[in-house]
Amino acid sequence: MAGAQGTTTRRSRITPEREAELYGAVLDLLREVGYDALTMDGVAARARSSKATLYRQWGSKAELVVKALRHQKPVRIDEIDTGSLRGDFRTLVSLNDDCRMERDGALMRGLAMAMHDNPDLHRAFHELLIEPEMTGLDRVVRRAVDRGEVSADNPALGYIVHMMIGAFVGRNMIDNQPVSQAFLTSYVDAVILPALGV
């Protein structure tokens, strides 16, 4: 209760529309100049806001950037519940179209570089983006275990995120191609589901 109240108070100064507009400005700037050259002054100018407002709402550049990334996620993973693990992965793969995955892939690779030298960004990225996604994916997979689709002691249960990272990083590094829905669908069917015994 106290936590929810705290969040509401902090967020209450800004409308959801204004928040979305600010996040849009952050992502545009991030694509144009990269994380290191992005400044709170630059965001304030682009979004016709003030640096004081940005710091009051978000506390740091790292938090603002990661929340902007999180805001564009269309669906919470743990809300995906089609009744089968294959169906859930199909839905997960279909959330972002190929253009968007190609665009976001470039953004994510740039951020991965920046994280190397920015512990604040690394921490915010893990806490606000990676961990919630992992928790969501874990719920999806738990439901498959509860349905009896996956054995509770299948050792690949601990490596689902590793397998997925391999798809994204390997597609770029080895195949030198952007990740697409067709590629991810094929990878899920060839690697992830068989490893889980589905």
Question: Does residue 150 interact with a copy of itself by CB under 8 A?
Answer: no
Question: Does residue 113 interact with a copy of itself by CB under 8 A?
Answer: yes
Using the minimum distance from each CB to a copy of itself, give the nearer residue, 45 or 191: 191
Count of CB atoms within 10 A of residue 89's CB? 27
Contacts of 100 (CB under 8 A, 6+ apart): none
Using the minimum distance from each CB to a copy of itself, give the nearer residue, 14 or 108: 108
Q: Compute the distance between CA of residue 68 and CA of residue 191 in angstroms, rounded to an integer.
A: 32
Ramachandran sector of residue 197 (left: φ over 0; alpha: ψ -120 to 50; beta: rest): left
Query: Rounded to the nearest 5 degrees, what angle is found at the Cα of 198, between the Cα atoms of 141 and 158?
Result: 45
Using the minimum distance from each CB to a copy of itself, give the nearer residue, 41 or 131: 131
Question: Does residue 189 interact with a copy of itself by CB under 8 A?
Answer: yes
State the minimum distance, in angstroms, from the CB of residue 148 to a copy of itself: 18
By CB under 8 A, name the binding residues for a copy of itself.
109, 113, 116, 130, 134, 154-156, 158-159, 161-167, 169-171, 173-174, 186-187, 189-191, 194-195, 197
